Structure 1
């Protein structure tokens, strides 16, 4: 006896060959629809390639022939996509030069993306990794005008270690993070700081002389990272490298800090480690300039 509630067996269905029982392909598996989806993906890929090309060459402008040639794309296809991007204000077309460049639509998207970037969140995994490879405390500072502020740190596992006061502001001449930020600024901005802002000593080792700071900045730019031994805090040593964003602005610095003697023994290695971490964070928040 069949179980209560069981459906009657469809003998005809059971007797049918296996081929006739196969389900009809779903709409998205239909060859015609698959071809359409492939064409759509191909069209999007070509659109993004044009946008990325113009973004990478900005502020240079390009004509349709150059774009098609660089992307190995049929000129007619490139022209059709360019017209659509101009119609959407994503690109601007100069009728006199017949050249294209990014337009206000691209700027809107770019600024929206920048607003979503969270530097501390982005930097956190790199701080953790720095502590793992170095054994010292890793910090993140953000520039605030002519000062910078500690916003995050991951503490060293050593019993004897350095820590920083999050939220505390420091001037741009005291400590490795400050000097890394200062050295990464344009020359005219550095000179404005050196000539128009009073500098005070935080410790007997703080550099306040404009000429000495200029010399130090030259060394930082050559090495790629700043070094401080007791300049911000007596008995402390640190190395730091600057972070840049998609607009090539200096937004802060990553540092390793610890007891002066221990840092001094490993300054070269730690310097390379903070440079690598700062480059990675900069890249993740949109910086595309030279390392």
Structure 2
């Protein structure tokens, strides 16, 4: 199964929206180019990049030259193609060093992954739009969900989305507008989903059994860096059969305990 944990809208759709609301369209274009090159398995030529992003080739070339000059993008003069350059790793490394979530969460992810025999991830929540995988631990079995660090997926999808809706300050109208754009294998109605959101708020965690991906159970628990503002989530995603063998209730409680401990650490609270 290829990249099942996230659905990303077409880059040109994201770019059009970003440029429309942005006061700095050049930055939006540069970000779109970096995302496109980051997702591509092969270096891309100017025409391919411009076509995918809906840019005028001359504008696209200007953006690419600026990114090459800043060492975020590499240009091969022989093939005339572009690829990400190591400069992006410097930015990522600085961010990861400053973010205590990764340092504290990784041992938790490793432990739960071994216990449940499932993929366990830590996600950074970016408002109501999307979330980004920032830490991951893969199970040792033959079935592994594709959950690479840096992958983006819609904020309200699956169990994690129910946590974001339950503990975020979003109106029902905002939630419905985003919900209507989601892609599920066997998704709930919006009314059913709202009921699940209320249950998530009451119990402190969310469960998705096969709605997002058939045969896969996802359990998520919220994490705070500042009380009142949801920042991250811990997520278990595995074959429903594997999660049931481990005991769904046990997985839920372990994830909730771990997320609570992690929130206390990040918020500087005493045990």
Q: Is the 8 A contact 1:225 1:275 kept in 2?
A: yes
Greater radius of gyration (CA): 1
Which residue pairs with 2:68 in the alignment? Answer: none
Structure 1 unaligned segments of length 5 or more: list them.
1-114
Provide Cα deviations, 1:120-159, integer angstroms capped at 9, x if missing partner.
2221121112123323221111111212122221011223
Which residue pairs with 1:164 in the alignment? Answer: 147
Which residue pairs with 2:116 in the alignment? Answer: 134
CA distance in 1 between partners of 2:167 and 2:244 (Å): 23
Which residue pairs with 1:277 in the alignment? Answer: 258
Which residue pairs with 2:132 in the alignment? Answer: 149
Secondary structure of the corresponding residue to residue 107 of structure 2: helix
Deviation at 1:194, TM superposition (A): 2.1
Secondary structure of the corresponding residue to residue 238 of structure 1: strand
| Among 184, 204, 228, the residue aligned to 2:185 | 204
Is residue 177 from structure 1 mapped to residue 157 from structure 2 by the alignment? no
Aligned pair in 2 of structure 1 residues 156, 198: CA closer, same or farther (>3 Å)?
closer
Deviation at 1:257, TM superposition (A): 1.2
Deviation at 1:272, TM superposition (A): 0.6
With normalisation by structure 1, the TM-score equals: 0.53
Q: Is the 8 A contact 2:185 2:212 kept in 1?
A: no
Secondary structure of the corresponding residue to residue 197 of structure 1: helix
Secondary structure of the corresponding residue to residue 172 of structure 2: helix
Work out the number of aligned pairs and report it.
173
Which residue pairs with 1:70 in the alignment? Answer: none
CA distance in 2 between partners of 1:127 and 1:218 (Å): 26
Q: Is the 8 A contact 1:138 1:153 kept in 2?
A: yes
Aligned pair in 2 of structure 1 residues 271, 198: CA closer, same or farther (>3 Å)?
closer
Structure 2 unaligned segments of length 5 or more: list them.
1-96
Is residue 120 from structure 1 mapped to residue 99 from structure 2 by the alignment? no
Secondary structure of the corresponding residue to residue 161 of structure 2: helix
Where do 1:258-277 residues align within 5 Å? 258-265=238-245, 266-277=247-258
Secondary structure of the corresponding residue to residue 202 of structure 1: coil
Which residue pairs with 2:224 in the alignment? Answer: 244
Deviation at 1:271, TM superposition (A): 0.6
Deviation at 1:223, TM superposition (A): 2.2
Provide Cα deviations, 1:207-257, integer angstroms capped at 9, x if missing partner.
3x3322210011112222111123333322111100011343100210111
CA distance in 1 between partners of 2:143 and 2:222 (Å): 26
CA distance in 2 between partners of 1:225 and 1:247 (Å): 17
Structure ranking higher on relative contact order (CA contacts 8 Å, 6+ apart): 2
With normalisation by structure 2, the TM-score equals: 0.57
CA distance in 2 between partners of 1:127 and 1:185 (Å): 24
CA distance in 2 between partners of 1:288 and 1:192 (Å): 35
CA distance in 1 between partners of 2:164 and 2:269 (Å): 18
Q: Is the 8 A contact 1:135 1:157 kept in 2?
A: yes
Secondary structure of the corresponding residue to residue 250 of structure 2: helix
Q: Is the 8 A contact 2:119 2:236 kept in 1?
A: yes
CA distance in 1 between partners of 2:151 and 2:253 (Å): 26
